[in-house]
Amino acid sequence: MSDTQQIIDDSFARLIKTYAPQPVVLDHGKGCYAYDTDGKKYLDFAAGIAVASLGHAHPAMLEAMQKQAARLMACQASYSTREKLECAKLMTDTSCFDLVYFSNSGTESVEAAFKLARKWAYDEKGEHCNEVIAMRQSFHGRTMGAASITEKRHTQHFYAPYIEGIHFAEFNNLDSVKELVSEKTAAIIIEPVQGEGGLTPAEPAFLMGLRQICDEHNIALIFDEVQTGFGRLGKLYAYEAFECCPDCVKGGDVNEANLQVIEPDIVAWAKGMGGGFPVGAMAAKTKFGVAMQPGTHGTTYGGNPLACAVASAVMKEIMQPAFIDNVNKMGARLVSGLEKIQRESNKITDIRGKGLMIGVDTIYDVGKFLSALQKNGMMATQAGKSTLRLVPPLIVGEQEIDEALEIIGKTLQEGAE
């Protein structure tokens, strides 16, 4: 038996089986490429599922990590550090949010957002106001709060009972949201682009409609930007990528002179924010953020100086204008290359997405197509039941986009039956 197979089999024997193992053992990475233990090179368009925003082994991240690890890695969450302040400042100075809470993962950021919304509604409107409206096909994470607002709960009855007071509306259908709103509604939560749900972008008019409903009924609007934040959609924050004019909600024409950014009240971040380092954050406008007081919520590791130093280093890279420019240019290049393949091969049935978060439906089973891509030296991932999800590092260049297109074209030609 090969070393590789031995590692896979031994790992499977010793790990709780939450994932089906891939037939590859990864060893190291550099830039947009990852290498397995047999020395095979893969163009990494999965990036740890939209995590390695700066690619693998980025010098700015390594420098921040090494320097900070040698200085201070751990401290009680109640202590201030320069690193925590710098990171919070970078976020509040560049976004519509005023207050930040650091976590260690996406699900924790969502959990914190959920708790903050309930605490705010309890203080503001009373005990009865504790319901949350989530979307069908949503994915928000796997802790009980996040799982309770995630579509998959409908097929995972073995974890019941889920948290009470959750209702599911149709994504991109404002009437279905309106039907669920009552005096008990504390919050509405949405992913600006549904990831796990099949890579579906929200329509700007739908998001603007949610904003109007929340303003009218004093409800907290939460955006889960765990996968879409930090440059992924071609803006620093996902909420900035959905400008809309208020009249469009009622079906009016787009008025370019009155385009407005749709600001949520609370946001959940993680993934690309740490570039691969496990860190997340929940941020809020003052009105909502002040609902949390000492003793209401917390975390041992959240906001530790190492995580904050790395997240700041990642942010400083992403915040350079040329960086976001690159995301938009490379996203456009990827989509136009995919459209060309679609015209020539007739094997692509849909292409959708924003920035460098692109979904592709093909005539092949997505699992089989991913395996075929892997054999041809490219890693990608799945979104929903049938969509190929392309979420490369945001530093990706023209050469790597063209290489990805070549591998996708070749794999489609070979077939993935």
Interface residues toward ligand PLP, by CB under 6 A: 49, 105-107, 110, 139-141, 191, 195-196, 224, 226-227, 270
Rounded to the nearest whole angstrom, what is the least distance from the CB of residue 224 to ligand PLP in the complex?
A: 5
Q: Which is nearer to ligand PLP, 168 or 364 (CB)?
A: 168
Longest dimension (CA), the chain: 66
Rounded to the nearest whole angstrom, what is the least distance from the CB of residue 240 to ligand PLP in the complex?
A: 17
Rounded to the nearest whole angstrom, what is the least distance from the CB of residue 98 to ligand PLP in the complex?
A: 22
- Residues comprising the chain, all counted: 417
Residue nearest to ligand PLP (CB): 106
Rounded to the nearest whole angstrom, what is the least distance from the CB of residue 359 to ligand PLP in the complex?
A: 13
Q: Which is nearer to ligand PLP, 129 or 360 (CB)?
A: 360
Q: Which is nearer to ligand PLP, 136 or 217 (CB)?
A: 136
Q: Which is nearer to ligand PLP, 107 or 326 (CB)?
A: 107
Q: Which is nearer to ligand PLP, 303 or 409 (CB)?
A: 303
Using CA atoms, how far apart are residues 190 and 136, in angstroms rounded to an integer?
A: 10
Closest listed residue to residue 354, CA positions, set 191, 241, 270 = 241
Closest listed residue to residue 404, CA positions, set 318, 317, 331, 327 = 331
Using CA atoms, how far apart are residues 180 and 118, in angstroms rounded to an integer?
A: 17
Structural element, H or E, at residue 61: helix 59-71
Rounded to the nearest whole angstrom, what is the least distance from the CB of residue 223 to ligand PLP in the complex?
A: 10
Q: How many other C-beta atoms lie within 10 A of the C-beta of residue 398?
A: 11
Q: Which is nearer to ligand PLP, 133 or 348 (CB)?
A: 133
In the chain, helix, strand, coil percent, each to 5? Answer: 45, 20, 40
Using CA atoms, how far apart are residues 209 and 195, in angstroms rounded to an integer?
A: 21
Whether residue 134 contacts residue 166, with contact meaning beta carbons closer than 8 Å, is answered with yes
Where do we find the tokens 């490369």?
A: 392
Rounded to the nearest whole angstrom, what is the least distance from the CB of residue 276 to ligand PLP in the complex?
A: 12
